[in-house]
Amino acid sequence: MSCSMTQSCFRQLTRGPWKQGSLPIFLAPAFSLQQTQCFSTTSPTQSRVGGAPLSIPPSVSLKFIDLPQTEVRGKAKERPKSAIEVKGPLGELTLNLPPFLKVAHDDASRKASLTVEDSSIAHQRAMWGTTRAHLQNYILGVSEGHICILSLVGVGYRATIESTATTVEPEYPGQQFVSLKVGYSHPIELGIPRGVKASTPQPTRILLEGIDKSVVTKFAAEIREWRRPEPYKGKGIFVNGETIRLKAKKIR
């Protein structure tokens, strides 16, 4: 679009009162018809995160699964064709792989590496590192697990784990609930998601454990939303050693 506009403006100037060769020097770069070069002349390299090999513990096994294919208009190229099942002592998780990404697994060295078809495409480079990070979280989750520690800071703030709730209905049999008392007049009860274990080692501490990092951190964010840390008194619900810079009080 900009190139066509530049060429049309150049033709109008040359057809006008300006004679050939008398175009001002300061206008010559703007109306040059030569193709401009990109700022970066280096070729695309591999992703710093996606290109790093993964170390697989001896207690973790990887299994590749072919997914059934169904015809969907407009999204056939992005539908995953295979998945990888990560199994460990704490459980198992399944990660869908993009169709342009391949995983090379070496049982002897206990290493796995990821590659993409064309690293010059921005979407493939982005999903390269993202998929590698998800797979790393899955391996750590089934072998060691993920935890989130929430700290309740405030006068009278406390939390308990209850087996029943009065304000919400259980989503699955045996579901437990986190009951918060953080300054509201009504009870706050949050259902613990499936696969997450919650405990209160102290009345002002909540410990969340699970194999899926996204589920654990999402539930921690839902709890934090009820009392986000405020910068004047420093009260609120803090996640994993979160800190906040206090502001000076306004004096009128």
**Sequence-separated (6 or more) residues with CB below 8 Å from residue 154:** 182, 183, 227, 235, 236
What pLDDT does residue 175 have? 95
Task: State both tokens at 180.
Answer: 């918060």
**Per-residue pLDDT tens for 111-156?**
999 999 988 888 998 899 999 999 999 999 999 999 999 999 999 9
Last residue of a domain, one of 144, 163, 184: 144
The answer for residues whose C-beta is within 8 angstroms of residue 38's C-beta and 6 or more apart is none
pTM of structure: 0.76
Q: What is the pLDDT of residue 251?
A: 76
Is there a domain that residue 17 lies in?
A: no
**Degrees, nearest 5: CA angle 80-215-48:** 60
φ and ψ of 131, to 5 deg: -65, -40
Q: What Å distances lie between residue 179 and 6, 163, 206, CA to CA? A: 66, 10, 11
Q: Is residue 32 part of a domain?
A: no
Number of structural domains, the chain? 2
Whether residues 139 and 150 fall in one domain: no
- Is residue 211 scored above 80 in pLDDT? yes
Same domain, 105 and 168: no
Q: Please report the pLDDT score of residue 63 as a whole number.
A: 93
Q: Does residue 230 share a domain with residue 166?
A: yes
Q: Which pLDDT does position 113 carry in this prediction?
A: 92
User: Could you report the per-residue pLDDT of 180-207, keeping only the tens digit for each?
Assistant: 999 999 989 999 999 999 999 999 999 9
Lowest mean pLDDT among 101-105, 233-237, 247-251: 247-251
- Domain end point (choices 103, 121, 144): 144
Q: Are residues 170 and 134 in the same domain?
A: no
Last residue of a domain, one of 109, 129, 144: 144
Q: What tens digit of pLDDT does each residue of 17-74 get?
A: 555 556 566 666 655 555 555 555 555 556 678 888 999 999 999 999 988 877 666 5
Tokens of 20: 């050939």
How far is it, in rounded angstroms, from Cα 19 to Cα 13? 9
Residues 124 and 179 in one domain: no
Q: Is the pLDDT of residue 219 over 90?
A: yes
- CA–CA dist 122, 89 (Å, integer): 37
Residue 134 placed within a domain: yes
For the domain that residue 114 is a member of, what is the CATH number? 3.90.930.12
Same domain membership, residue 166 and residue 224: yes
Q: Identify the domain containing residue 206 by its residue range.
A: 146-239
Give the pLDDT confidence score for residue 25 in this predicted structure.
Answer: 65
In whole angstroms, give the CA distance from residue 245 to residue 104: 45
Selected residue with higher pLDDT from 75 and 171: 171
Residue 156 lies in a domain: yes
177 in Cβ contact with 222 (< 8 Å) = no
Strand-pairing partners, residue 188, are 180
Q: Is the distance from CB of 57 to CB of 139 less than 8 angstroms?
A: yes
